[in-house]
Structure formats: C-alpha cells, structure tokens
Amino acid sequence: MIEYHDSELDTQKRPIRNIVATIPGTIHPEKKIVLTAHYDSVIPPGAEDNGSGVAVLLEIARILKEERIPLEYTVEIVFFDYEEKDLNGSQAYVRHALINKDEIIGVINFDMVGWDGGDGKLELITAKISASFLEEGVLFVSKIAGREDFVYPIIEDIENLVGHGDYSSFLGWGIDLENKEGLDMSRGYYYVINVTAAQKLEKGYPYYHTVEDTIEKLNIDFLRQVTQWAAEVVYGLANSSDF
C-alpha cells in the first residue's frame, strides 16, 4: 500500500508531501520497523544526497514485495520531503507518529550511502539514548548475516546529532534546531540509526550540495553491498521475537 502524507508544520505553513509504502506484518501488524530516506535535494541532480538512499529503499521495497518475504512486523518505507529545509518532512512525520502513538520498534535512515571514500565502510550513527537498538538490534543482526566488518558503529551525545539529518527528528520532536536547547525527551522519541557512508570518519564527499553530485561519482558496487546489508537487517529485525 502506498500513501501520500500531506501536511504542513504550524510554524512554516509549507506544504509537505511524504510518501509512505507499507508492507503489513503477519503476526504483529501494529508494530513497525520504519526505513526512511529524504527525496529532496538542495540542487539537482543530488545523486549521492540523496538519490543513493532512495535507491536502496526502492530496491528493498521491490525485494520484499516480489519475493514475498515473510515479515512478522510491519515494514514501513518512508520517503521524506524537505530534509534540506529544517528537516520539515521528518518533523511532520514524527509529530504525527507521536500524536498517533505509533508503535515504532526502530527507525533506520539512509542518507548518502553510495560514496565510501575508498574504505568500504558503512557508518551507523546514533545517540546514547538509542544505543540499545544499534547494539542489540542492528549490529546483532549484521553479525548473524556475517556482515559485522562492513559496518562501523558510532554512538554520540545527542547534542552532536540534533539538526544533522532526518534521523535526529526521531530523537525528540520539536527540538530547537538553532541553539540545540530544550532537549525535552518527555515529548517522546524513537529508537533511530542513521546509515551513511561519509559523514563521521573524516571522509567528506567532495561534491556535497553541488551540481557535480552526479551518478558517476557513486561506487555502485558499494551501493549494492549497502542494499544487501539493509535487506538482511530488515529481514532479521522484522522477524525477531525480541522486540
């Protein structure tokens, strides 16, 4: 099932369209694993930022549907609008999810995953508050899949993450993105991991936010490995009775 979630944030009055594809779980349909990627870009073509993340999610959606992979939990695949404008798309999604009391087991966000800077490593970034989802969920499943050497976990203080991507919207809706104050977790947060290839390990993608961000710059073999890893993680998480 594919739906458009149209909304606008009270403060901005900007129309926002998130695109949501849902594959219902067979045993616990009310609980969901959420995969996300923003589909807007600062300037076209935005191959790495964030055509790469969108490509991974489209391929996972295709695999789950065509192969009829059994899933105990619901898998929701969300394409966010307006990441590049104050994270408006993900802010709208999280606000709605909190009001709705959505049972989200965990969120995996894909942002810039097709350029690895030559080291072949995928970075998994989260905050301390969300570390158990990384360690007992995603890393555990990666190990079972024999892919623990492919990923590099990074656990940060939440103050260092706020405002740096859609994943940070899940660490607490309504956080002041400018001065990073008001980290009021009583408003709710979700377990979330940011998957990226070139943000923290001192690899800067040289074509970031330029017209030079074209598809030839991407390492397609690496992008394929990211997609295979992600498919294994989604399968493992969506069929784990631990949650």
Q: Which residues bind Zn ion (CB under 5 A)?
A: 49-50, 111
Convert 126-145 to b/e letters by CB count within 10 Å (16 or more is b): bbebbbebbeebbbbbbeeb
Interaxial angle between packed helices 52-66 and 220-237, expressed in degrees from 0 to 180 and rounded to the nearest 10: 50
Distance in Å, CB of 5 to Zn ion, minimum:
19
Distance in Å, CB of 131 to Zn ion, minimum:
23
Distance in Å, CB of 48 to Zn ion, minimum:
8
Distance in Å, CB of 207 to Zn ion, minimum:
13
Distance in Å, CB of 163 to Zn ion, minimum:
13
Closer Cβ to Zn ion, 50 or 88, answer by number: 50
Distance in Å, CB of 39 to Zn ion, minimum:
10
Report how far residue 103's alpha carbon sits from residue 126's, in angstroms, rounded to the nearest whole number: 20
Q: Is 217 exposed, middle or buried (0-12, 13-18, 19+ CB in 10 A)?
A: middle
Supply 180's token pair: 């990073």
Supply 94's token pair: 């999280």
Kindly report whether the peptide bond that precedes residue 179 is cis, defined as omega within 30 degrees of 0: no
Distance in Å, CB of 132 to Zn ion, minimum:
26
Report how far residue 71's alpha carbon sits from residue 67's, in angstroms, rounded to the nearest whole number: 12
Closer Cβ to Zn ion, 48 or 76, answer by number: 48
Closer Cβ to Zn ion, 51 or 172, answer by number: 51
Supply 131's token pair: 């570390």
The dihedral formed by the CA atoms of 239, 240, 241 and 243, expressed in degrees to the nearest 10:
-120
Closer Cβ to Zn ion, 167 or 189, answer by number: 167
Classify strands 28-38 and 2-8 as parallel, antiparallel or unpaired.
unpaired
At 217, the amino acid letter reads: K
Closer Cβ to Zn ion, 50 or 90, answer by number: 50
Closer Cβ to Zn ion, 71 or 162, answer by number: 162
Closer Cβ to Zn ion, 49 or 213, answer by number: 49
Chain-centre distance for alpha carbon 99: 21
